[in-house]
Amino acid sequence: MGEQLIVVDGVHKRFGRKRVLTGVQLGVEQGKVVALLGANGAGKSTLMRVISGLAKPDRGDVVLGGVSLRKAGHELRRYIGLVTHAPLLYDNLNALDNLQFFARLYDIQSPDKRIEAVLQAVDLWPRRRDPVRTFSRGMIQRLAIARAILHDPPVLLLDEPDTGLDPASAEKLAELIRAFGAANRAILLTTHNLERARTWADSVAFLEDGKITFNESSASLSDADLRRLVLEPGMMA
């Protein structure tokens, strides 16, 4: 087993009287991709926000690379690349200018070579001078991933990165995820697409009633297994 770069240890989170996370336990090893499934409102996005440091757990802890998020606070965000429903890009700027802006935020010294490398990785270098507002949905997602990996973080969090993508764009995204996982990052992604969860990830975890109720290697699962897991939660625990 490799080093666990993401460790979620007994995390609880509530909003008012609503309990969203109740003692979540989850780990992601270096070089592995884990797909997190769950019904709408199961708390997947909340868990991603807690892991990224955007929301504080009421109880429990998140440990990234052996360092507690509670103790490290904002400093540990450099350890994370985050892609959410919002791409966090500036529509009126081109791809180069967007990444130059984020390079300054991350205090990346002499960022030109790094920016070229990540734009080449996501196949956007030829469109580097085009305004983001002219990009397709798939291109915007790829640029958001370039932003997320610009500072070379070992942990990558992808919250429904395939939403709204056509099949060709989704396959390109799958290639990127596999490449980044092979580069010894720990990747946690959420998706509603069962086939992509099984084929993109090394393992699949299921969030139900605020807890991880299932966590198995994707190689041992069929599409029918995943459909049964979603339609009849608890049956495969």
| Dist. CA 22–CA 141, nearest whole Å | 31
Average pLDDT over residues 137-163: 92
Q: Residue 233: what pLDDT?
A: 58
Are 89 and 132 within 8 A, CB to CB? yes
In the block, tokens 């056509």 appear at 166
Nearest by Cα to 35 from 187, 175, 178, 140: 187
| Dist. CA 11–CA 7, nearest whole Å | 10
Helix 112-121 to helix 95-105 angle (10° resolution) is: 120
Q: What is the pLDDT of residues 37-78, one digit of tens each?
A: 998 888 999 999 999 988 999 999 999 988 898 887 667 778
Average pLDDT over residues 128-139: 95
| Dist. CA 169–CA 81, nearest whole Å | 20
Q: Residue 1: what pLDDT?
A: 63
Average pLDDT over residues 157-179: 87
Nearest by Cα to 35 from 219, 166, 235: 219
| Dist. CA 91–CA 85, nearest whole Å | 15
The per-residue pLDDT of the chain, averaged, comes to 90
Are 86 and 159 within 8 A, CB to CB? no
Backbone angles phi, psi at 207, to 5 degrees: -100, 120
Sorted by where each starts, the structural domains of the chain and their CATH numbers stand as 4-88+155-231 (3.40.50.300)
H-helix or E-strand containing 74? none
Positive or negative, the Cα torsion across 191, 196, 197, 200? negative
pLDDT over 90 (residue 33): yes
Q: What is the pLDDT of residues 77-125, one digit of tens each?
A: 788 999 988 889 999 999 999 999 999 998 899 999 999 999 998 999 9
pLDDT over 50 (residue 130): yes
> For residue 67, what are the β-bridge partners?
64
